[in-house]
Amino acid sequence: MSDSALTNNQSASVAREQWSSRLVFILAATGSAVGLGNIWKFPYITGENGGGAFVLIYLLCIASIGIPIMMAEIMLGRRGRQDPVTTMKKLAKESGHSRSWGLLGWMGVIAGFLILSYYSVIAGWAMAYVPRMASGMFSGLEAAGVNSVFSDLVSNPESLIAWHTLFLIMTMVVVARGVRGGLEKAVTYLMPLLFVLLIILIVYAMGTGHFKEGFAYLFNPDFSKITTEGILSAMGHAFFTLSLGMGAIMVYGSYLPPDTSIAKVSIAVAFMDTLVALMAGMIIFPIVFANALEPSSGPGLIFKTLPLAFGGMNYGTLFGTLFFILLVFAAWTSSISLIEPAITWGMKTFQTSRIKTSVISGLLVWFLGLFTVFSFNLTSDFTFSSTISTKYGEFVILKDATAFDFLDYLTSNIMLPLGGLMIAVYAGWLMKKEYSLAELNINRIWFTIWLFLVRFVAPIMVIIVFLNAMGVVAFIRTIMGV
């Protein structure tokens, strides 16, 4: 079968919008991948797991999990040239498999929708900290005062709703303008600005007197600090950081021109995403060490530890403000991609315009986000737990979970790992090799390496990530006394 016949799906979809260049796709996909996880989560889990050794394991996981699955997801998107649901049905029919594979697309659409509902609330916190930091509110505050500022914010439902609303409006305005007029323009400006802010803040961190200490903590591996938990954490973050399994990369791949190398753009996106995370670490750890704070302070690192540090530093008000602007930009580029799968599905299914679909989707996400808003204040006492009793003891699935905890658990621990696993299984085992070869357009040696990783290594590691996130690994270790 000729290459032209194998790629007929691409030529047949000329009416579908496409990115104007490979660079724009890299910026867009990097924007999707770069978010609160890079600037908020990566530094604190690095701190919790000993620094440099964790970073090294994380990089190995990016190469063995992230890049192979990203290539697979982009490949499926470009070949299908539709929303994730229609794409998977179309590809399944093409290869002679059940149209039930459309459920993979459904899971991605729903996961992105649910994630945005609480992601916009957390992004609203970052937006709320910009004027607070700029006004000098944190200057001279002790830890109790900084904690009070955060508590006052999250306990005020009206304030959270306002910031949640503003952030969603920013997101939907971009999405409503389409690929060229909205998504492309946004990432063309926002991603360079994000890197400019990162560089400015790194220069500032160099003036703390502890940059060398922070740099060594991040890049000098101490393998004595490696634990099973650290390895599992590195595997999980390597998967989640690239926005895999939620349909966003599949949709972005559907806009990719047919002559663009999927392997090259996947490697470029993984490199850029990792670079942002490492640059964030080079900013945060010197500031933490300069103020004799604890790098393993957990999720409170961004909203409690760093404001305390900025409040006691020279020019802390200015650079603290820039830091939270950086955080907003990172969240904004990610949120755009989270809703795009639902937008493309809605446009096709209901034959409505992008603007109308964006407005309706935005309103639904906004309403669902209220459950997250209220889980921090009005309904914070309404929690539930889920356990399974066995002869070895109780297996805890959820404990004292709020609505936010449940949505986070459902999407991060169940939907995304399953989505990534199904992508790897379909691309590695069910899609015809000639189709994969034609789409990836790489030589046989590299194709064999990719196929081995996506068939065996990545699925096994994603299954382990899934079982760990579900608490199964910890339960098994408890039973075995490990």
C-alpha to C-alpha distance for 46 and 55, rounded to whole angstroms = 7
On whether residue 431 sits in a domain, the answer given is no
On whether residue 391 sits in a domain, the answer given is no
Q: What is the pLDDT of residues 203-215, one digit of tens each?
A: 999 999 999 999 9
Q: What is the pLDDT of residues 135-160, one digit of tens each?
A: 999 998 998 999 999 999 999 999 99
Q: Which helix (H) or strand (E) covers residue 390, if one does?
A: strand 384-390
On whether residue 417 sits in a domain, the answer given is no
Q: Which helix (H) or strand (E) covers residue 90, if one does?
A: helix 84-94
CB 39, CB 294: distance < 8 Å: no
Write the DSSP symbol of residue 41.
Answer: I
C-alpha to C-alpha distance for 81 and 17, rounded to whole angstroms = 10
Nearest Cα residue to 201 out of 309, 304, 294, 59? 309
C-alpha to C-alpha distance for 35 and 337, rounded to whole angstroms = 11
CB 413, CB 469: distance < 8 Å: yes
On whether residue 375 sits in a domain, the answer given is yes
Q: Which residues 6+ apart lie within 8 Å of 277 measured at CB?
A: 38, 39, 42, 43, 241
- Tokens at residue 280, please? 């964030």
On whether residue 432 sits in a domain, the answer given is no
Place of tokens 């991605």: 108
On whether residue 476 sits in a domain, the answer given is no
Place of tokens 């790098």: 295
Give me the domain span that covers residue 337: 3-381
Q: What is the pLDDT of residues 421-475, one digit of tens each?
A: 999 999 999 999 999 999 999 999 999 999 999 999 999 999 998 888 777 766 6
**Neighbour tally for 278: CB within 10 Å:** 20
Cα 322 to Cα 58, 363, 407: the distances in Å are 28, 30, 30
Place of tokens 């063309």: 188
Strands (E), 10-115: none
Q: What share of the chain is helix, strand, coil (3-state, %, to 5)?
A: 75, 5, 20
Cα 180 to Cα 126, 185, 241, 249, 431: the distances in Å are 28, 7, 25, 17, 30
C-alpha to C-alpha distance for 121 and 372, rounded to whole angstroms = 7
Look at residue 393 in the predicted model and tell me its pLDDT: 67
Widest Cα–Cα separation across the chain: 71
CB 265, CB 242: distance < 8 Å: no
pLDDT at 201 over 60: yes
CB 471, CB 397: distance < 8 Å: yes
The model's pTM is 0.92
Angle between helix axes 102-134 and 84-94 (nearest 10 degrees) is: 150
pLDDT at 8 over 70: no
CA angle 209, 214, 216 (to 5 degrees): 115
Handedness of CA 259, 261, 262, 266 (dihedral sign): negative
Share of the chain above pLDDT 90, in %: 75
Cα 189 to Cα 192, 193, 290: the distances in Å are 6, 6, 33
C-alpha to C-alpha distance for 169 and 380, rounded to whole angstroms = 26
β-strand partners of 390 = 393
State how far Cα 348 lies from the chain centre.
26
**Neighbour tally for 405: CB within 10 Å:** 17
Cα 329 to Cα 38, 106, 190: the distances in Å are 12, 28, 7
Task: Specify the CATH number for the domain of residue 99.
Answer: 1.10.4160.10
Domain count, the chain: 1
Q: What is the pLDDT of residues 296-323, one digit of tens each?
A: 666 677 898 889 999 989 999 999 999 9
- Tokens at residue 437, please? 């070869």
On whether residue 65 sits in a domain, the answer given is yes
Give the confidence band of 273 by pLDDT, cuts at 50, 70, 90.
very high
C-alpha to C-alpha distance for 87 and 103, rounded to whole angstroms = 11
Q: What is the pLDDT of residues 354-373, one digit of tens each?
A: 999 999 999 999 999 999 99
Look at residue 339 in the predicted model and tell me its pLDDT: 96
On whether residue 439 sits in a domain, the answer given is no
Q: What is the pLDDT of residues 46-73, one digit of tens each?
A: 888 888 999 999 999 999 999 999 999 9
